[in-house]
Chain A
Amino acid sequence: MRVFRWMLVGLLLSFGAITGARAQTVEIEYWQYVFEARIKAMDELIKRFQAANPTIKVKHTTFPYADYQTKIAAAMPAGQGPDVVQLFYGWLDNFVGAKFIQPLPQDAFPPAMIEKEFYGIVTAMKRNGEYYGLPTAVRSLGLFYNKNLFKEAGLDPANPPKTLDQFLDAAKKTTKRDATGNMLSEGVTLDFPGQDYHWWREVLLRQMGGAPYSADNRKVTYDSEAGVKALNFYADLQRVAKVGQVGFMDEGQAAFRAGRAAMTIDGTFRLGSFGGIKTFEWGVTELPASADGTRSNFASYWVNAITTKPTGAKLDAAKKFLVYLTSAEAMQVWLDTVGELPARRAVAETQQNLSHPIYAPFLKALAYSQATVFVDESAQRQVSLDMINRVLIQNQDAKAALAEAAKSEQAILDRFYKK
């Protein structure tokens, strides 16, 4: 009987311990959009985080990219939605304005630490001295080239173009046309809706001595001498040098994949797709520098942020989770699984990564990259597309095209900042 009584007490005690532990378990919710590699990486990170923090449970929810913002906007005012959320850096102002996300707690994320350890492009996440989000990984652009086509044209595949002059020369040598002048294979893809509009705005323009926007990002400044030079350089690839043709093979990346373009400018996010190419060997190098050695690049990223939903124990859990997501370990997992570059310098610039034939050019670019601050990415993009179309299809003069584009884009910025 005594034994039984003690067993009962033991049972009750262990039951109490279990329920006690369960009462202390905090569940937080994490949202991101559907992209297979990202989901896989996040599942792995959550597994490791939960192993290290047994009292925290992270629920991972994903939505198709097209619905993602709409879902967040519908869920947040209803008190549903995530505690930690992934968002594109360009959406920040809208999210802050709607009070969906809160500033990162300064004890865990001191701005001085962020500015010392992360790449400079993350300062685009700073508003009034406070950071609202931090990336795990960042992306930049590179010049992909087809080694087989380089060899055919008598170029050294181990020595890709380093300057804009060499780039133009290589493009001329690798362009192939039939007897009547129809394009068979491009020297370089011309795809403004792809990454070329970033190349023009953040790279060519700056290399010609210009800047796309004022320092506070509220004024369009590309309607300038440098703007004309940059736009003409790009348009002349088709108009004068005839080394590329907009719309050839439908899209630039399709032309490159099919082996019908010697060079293309694209981002780290294309590595997975180009990795499947079996028919030829390709390499990647830094975007060509200008004659005076000026380099620039366009970087973009998704950040993780804490929403305004969690308080108390949940906020602590969300904070811990975000610390882990921006840790060196998480960045390495992300690089290995998704192929995106670590956002911390120390993790990115390891000897191993810097000697990696594919990652190295993208990593080097991060040191001189710009992250454009968009207020309405698709509308601002449309302005750029219209500009290049007026030049290439309607033969509009570069100066007039820039003036018209600057006026339209300024109207978009004004409407946003007026609020």
Chain B
Amino acid sequence: MNVSPSDSDAGGGGLSLRQQQVVWAWAFLAVPILFYGLIRFYPTAEAFYLSTTNWNLLSKPAFVGLANFERLWDDPVFWKVFRNTVLYLAIGTPVSLLLSFTIAYHLDRVRFMHGFIRALYFLPFLTTAAAMAWVWRWFYQPVPIGLFNDMLVGLGLAQQPFLRSTTQALPSVLAPAIWAGLGFQVVIFLAGLRAIPMTYYEAARIDGVGNLTILRRITLPLLKPTLVFLVVFSSIGFLRIFDQVYNMTSGDPGGPLNATKPLVLMIYQTAFSSFQMGYAAAQTVVLFVVLLAVSLLQLRLLRDR
């Protein structure tokens, strides 16, 4: 027999069971909603509002319409920085995923000291980005203190400027960023690989299918959810790159002639060195739109095919 909700409201203070459930659900949801509303959504909305003002932290914000966005459009530094940000994404994401998949794919087959090797790959991920960036900064120095240049000179080759170059600086900053994120991606890939049922592989082997075909037809398609997650996750990471750049080029933040400056660093400098909060908020809005567009695009491309 089925008790209808309205029959059970004897002790419910006039509320049906269903209504009580709804009230309880909202009571529990209220905490995260309040938290997100106050800590996340309200400041986000505020940033949109600030992007239309000329607030300089000390003055009262005055409405200036789209002037900040016009200034951004005409600012050559913004386009340089925008290009850098796209480069971080376009180089960083594929290279790091290719590397981490290759490592995970082979590590998956290694039984000898598997856990130890995995831990070694994961270790850089645990290191503070700032500390790591400074160590790499010293690696890139000219002789006599730079590791890479010492090696080059030892081999009889010419020194390279690395961070002091307008062309080499961006890849030089990207390398430790990729290296640091590798361990995390390897571990996620390993989990994804382990989740693929062995029976598929056994069936394929019995049918006499080669390794490459197994990889293309079984492993990669079944790894898609993992791949989608990592592509979106690492893309957001590279679009928001900051620590490495800031610490590796702290004397001239963003490298010589803004060679390595990402959007986030430009926002930081505009807001907290120049105190042009309105202009910085406009840059933040642009970053938000870019992040949103890239994430949505990736989700669509990778999911619906």
Contact = CB atoms under 8 A, between A and B. Distances in A.
A246 B164 contact: yes
Interface string A160-180: 000000000000000000101
Interface in A61-104: 66, 69-70, 73, 94-95, 97-98, 100
Given A194-B251, A390-B257, A393-B257, A248 B57 contact: no
A376 interface: yes
Interface in A387-416: 389-390, 393-394
A245 B149 CA distance: 15
A393 B166 CA distance: 8
Contacts of B57: 69-70, 73
- Best-buried of A70, A260, A385 by chain B (most CB within 10 Å): A385
Contact of A393 (B143, B145, B256, B272): B256
Contacts of A379: 273-274
B269 interface: yes
Interface residues of B, number: 28
Contacts of B59: 97-98
Nearest to B76: A408
Interface stretch (B2-10, B16-24, B99-107, B134-142): B134-142
Nearest to B271: A70
A247 interface: yes
B275 A69 contact: yes
B59 to A, nearest CB: 6
B166 A100 contact: no
Given A73-B57, A386-B257, A182 B153 contact: yes
Contacts of B165: 393
A386 B259 CA distance: 11
B252 A193 contact: yes
B58 interface: yes
Interface size, A (range): 35 or more
Given A73-B57, A250-B145, A394-B166, A193 B251 contact: yes
B275 A247 contact: no
A180 B153 contact: yes
A220 B15 CA distance: 75
B159 A250 contact: no
A378 interface: yes
A248 B145 CA distance: 9
Contacts of B44: none
Contacts of B138: 250
A249 B257 contact: no
Contact of B141 (A70, A250, A376): A250
B274 A376 contact: yes
Interface string A201-220: 00000000000000000000
A27 interface: no
B197 interface: no
A17 interface: no
B273 A378 contact: yes
A349 interface: no
A184 interface: yes
B115 interface: no
B221 interface: no
B56 A94 contact: yes
Given A192-B252, A249-B145, A394-B166, 9 more contacts: A97-B58, A97-B59, A182-B153, A183-B142, A247-B141, A378-B269, A385-B256, A389-B257, A393-B165
Interface of B: 56-59, 137-138, 141-145, 153, 159, 161, 163-166, 251-252, 256-258, 269, 272-275
25 contacts: A69-B275, A73-B57, A73-B275, A94-B58, A94-B275, A98-B59, A100-B58, A178-B143, A182-B143, A183-B143, A184-B144, A191-B251, A194-B251, A246-B164, A247-B141, A247-B164, A250-B138, A379-B273, A382-B252, A385-B256, A389-B252, A390-B257, A393-B161, A393-B256, A394-B257
The 4 closest A-B pairs by CB, nearest first: A98-B58, A193-B251, A378-B273, A389-B256
